[in-house]
Amino acid sequence: MRRVAALRAGLVGAGGVGARHALTMQGVDGLRLVAVTDVDPDRARRLASEHGARAVPDLEALLAEPLDAVWLCLPPFAHGAPEDAVLDAGLPFSGVVANRVRPAAPKGDPSAELERLLGDHALASKVTRTFEEDRRLAAQDRRNLANLKKRLGRKPMIEVPHLDDDVHDLAGLRRMDEYLFG
């Protein structure tokens, strides 16, 4: 029986989401995390050390590693340029999974209703600002995805919707499984 070498993965983003992905990678036969980078070098070093990988200073250094796959575990505002860099690196490419940002904010200006419900003008204003930021992030996310789709051309991109209880769309995951593994 022929033994296949493990796929070598790089991870960008060593925060909570990146740490969960690194942990998941450990349980996947044939996949090995080899390099981690983060804007916080100490956080990258800690996560890399926990998973037998090497911490590297930035995305450019990560892409210089011999990799087969890259996980981008970044906040919504940080997407765009990293995807472009990964595509420009010439890694073998089969698709992108994008976990979209969905605005939780109600339409219009909810401040009066929030103030009535909360009974606190300052808190209602803060929640309203959070809703506005959520809308801006979702709009930026839509622009980033549109640019990425253009860049990919005919290559597939599977979008996994954000769900209120923070689980992934099972039908979407089944479609990914069928596409990636037949």
Please tell me the class of the 1-93 domain.
alpha beta
88: left (phi over 0), alpha (psi -120 to 50) or beta: alpha
How confident is the prediction along the chain (182 residues), in pLDDT tens digits per residue? 445 578 899 999 999 888 988 988 888 888 899 999 999 999 999 999 999 999 999 999 999 999 988 988 887 777 778 888 888 888 765 555 555 555 555 666 777 777 778 788 888 788 777 777 777 777 777 787 787 778 777 776 666 554 444 444 555 556 655 665 55
CB 7 within 8 A of CB 69: yes
What does the domain layout of the chain look like in residue ranges?
1-93
Q: Which structure tokens are listed for 19?
A: 């740490």
Query: What b-and-e string marks burial along 129-143, b requiring 16 or more CB atoms within 10 Å of the CB?
Result: eebeebeebbeebee
Tokens linked to 118: 């909360």
